[in-house]
Amino acid sequence: MEELIKYIMGHLADEPEKIVIEKTDDTILVKVPKSDMGKVIGRQGRIAKAIRTIVKSASGGGKPVSIDIVEA
């Protein structure tokens, strides 16, 4: 899942090399530079919601995973 998130967010951000992904048991924490936050989250969170939907579908209905996007 981390690779999928990195791929998607890497294409959205201007500085994809600065995106850091950390995984805990049930949460994936994505640290994004301040300059790219708007591009990754989107208007009213639409892009973030779409990313969460894609990851949920790709997980195959297994253990639920939440994605938290924070400023690095």
Does 60 score more than 90 pLDDT? no
Q: Edge-to-edge, what's the strand order for the sheet holding 27-32?
A: 20-23, 27-32, 66-71
CATH of the domain at 50: 3.30.300.20
Q: Domain containing 22: what range?
A: 2-71
- Asked whether the beta carbons of 41 and 48 are under 8 A apart, the reply is yes
How many structural domains comprise the chain? 1
What is the reported pLDDT for 44? 95
> Virtual CA dihedral for 45, 64, 1, 15, nearest 10 degrees?
30
What is the reported pLDDT for 24? 87
CA neighbor of 30 nearest in space, from 45, 19, 15: 19
pTM value? 0.86
Distance from C-alpha of 70 to C-alpha of 14, rounded to nearest angstrom: 16
